[in-house]
Amino acid sequence: MTGRFALTRRLPDGYFDDALHTDVLKGLTGRPKTLPPKWFYDARGSELFEEITRLPEYYPTRAEHGILRERAGEIAAATGARTLVELGSGSSRKTRLLLDSLLRHGTLEHYAALDVSADALVAAGESLCRDYPDLEVTGCVTDLETDLGLPADARGPRLVAFLGGTLGNLDGEARPAFYARLRAELAPRDRLLMGVDLVKDPAVLVPAYDDAQGVTAEFDKNVLRVLNRELGAGFDLDAFRHRALWNPEEERIEMRLVSLRAQTVPLPVLEMSAEFEEGEETLTEIAVKFRRESLGAELSRAGFGLSHWWTDSEGRFALLLAEP
């Protein structure tokens, strides 16, 4: 079958509007103020993230790519996957290494990409359809916090990939909930492949989230642009500063937008306004960093067995394979 790319939506019309309204209402009236990272990724945000992955300071993408290049053959042999499901697929650039090795292994029939960004899915899906004409390529717009959207009819064994360190966006409460929902959808021969960033010197971590060129700052402020467009909000982007810090208790990077002055920002669509004090910080993203021991233990509490753990030569990033 030569593929035309098929995009589906798992969520009802208006889902994302409602979710954005709820998140912003909750996030900007609470203390500390928060905005969830999924709202970074409109078309511009997805492009800025691609730019981040090429920054000299942002090692995770290159480190993970290196591990995948080295281990893709082993992954194909260990899983024999007929379907590759990718959660938070983004541009699907690293995915090609897995597709190539699974095709060479002779088992792969279907690549199913799931992401919050329809723009990213369409761009990636169309280019994969061109380059892999014999592969069934599907995309599904979904919100991983609500509905994983694993294609139920996809033939097993399925390999579910959650790459790039995105697990780190979930805190210690959200991760067990995520594992439980995932495991409930998996069959015994399905496998989970995760890429996770590891705890290391904050002198390496912080610049990865606060680069010299200011791309991450632009990415961080992009959430304010999204709110301006989607909620008619009145954020002045110059009245906020990007900050990245290492939280040693939680072992995570936190990105925050610092209000440079006391200000009132109108949010007409929500019929409210948000008050910011001078210096007040809004938490826009957490990026948890992991250790083998504790991650293995939390996976095991969720019923997953850790079968493989591979790191890059510098021990910065890990790729793991787990079985339900």
Could you list the residues that contact ligand AVJ (CB under 6 A)? Answer: 52, 60, 164-166, 168-169, 209, 216, 219, 285, 287
Closest approach of ligand AVJ to the CB of residue 20, in Å: 18
Q: Which is nearer to ligand AVJ, 41 or 111 (CB)?
A: 41
> Would you give the distance in Å from CA 286 to the centre of its chain?
11
Q: d(Cα 125, Cα 130) in Å, to the nearest integer?
A: 9
Please identify the residue of the shown chain whose CB is closest to the bound ligand AVJ. Answer: 287
- Helix or strand holding residue 299 (H, E): helix 292-301
The Cα-based distances of 11 to 19, 95, 121, 124, 162 in angstroms read 11, 25, 15, 20, 20
Q: d(Cα 185, Cα 151) in Å, to the nearest integer?
A: 10
Closest approach of ligand AVJ to the CB of residue 89, in Å: 11
Q: Which is nearer to ligand AVJ, 83 or 222 (CB)?
A: 222
Q: d(Cα 75, Cα 321) in Å, to the nearest integer?
A: 8
Q: Which is nearer to ligand AVJ, 53 or 83 (CB)?
A: 53
Q: Which is nearer to ligand AVJ, 159 or 244 (CB)?
A: 244
Q: d(Cα 182, Cα 180) in Å, to the nearest integer?
A: 5
Closest approach of ligand AVJ to the CB of residue 216, in Å: 5
Q: Hey, how many other C-beta atoms are within 10 angstroms of the C-beta on 78?
A: 16
Closest approach of ligand AVJ to the CB of residue 58, in Å: 7
DSSP, res 3: P
Q: d(Cα 160, Cα 150) in Å, to the nearest integer?
A: 9
Q: Which is nearer to ligand AVJ, 138 or 216 (CB)?
A: 216
Q: Hey, how many other C-beta atoms are within 10 angstroms of the C-beta on 42?
A: 19
Q: State the burial class of residue 119 (Cβ atoms within 10 Å of its Cβ: 0-12, 13-18, 19+).
A: middle
Q: Which is nearer to ligand AVJ, 39 or 110 (CB)?
A: 39
Q: Which is nearer to ligand AVJ, 91 or 216 (CB)?
A: 216
Q: Compute the chain's Rg from CA coordinates.
A: 20
Closest approach of ligand AVJ to the CB of residue 6, in Å: 25
Token pair, residue 133, equals 């004409």
Q: d(Cα 137, Cα 143) in Å, to the nearest integer?
A: 19
- Helix or strand holding residue 300 (H, E): helix 292-301
Q: Largest Cα–Cα distance of the chain, in whole Å?
A: 61
Q: Which is nearer to ligand AVJ, 190 or 218 (CB)?
A: 218
Closest approach of ligand AVJ to the CB of residue 279, in Å: 22
DSSP, res 318: E
Closest approach of ligand AVJ to the CB of residue 52, in Å: 5
Closest approach of ligand AVJ to the CB of residue 303, in Å: 24
Q: Which is nearer to ligand AVJ, 112 or 215 (CB)?
A: 215
Contact 265, 33 (CB under 8 A): no
Closest approach of ligand AVJ to the CB of residue 195, in Å: 9
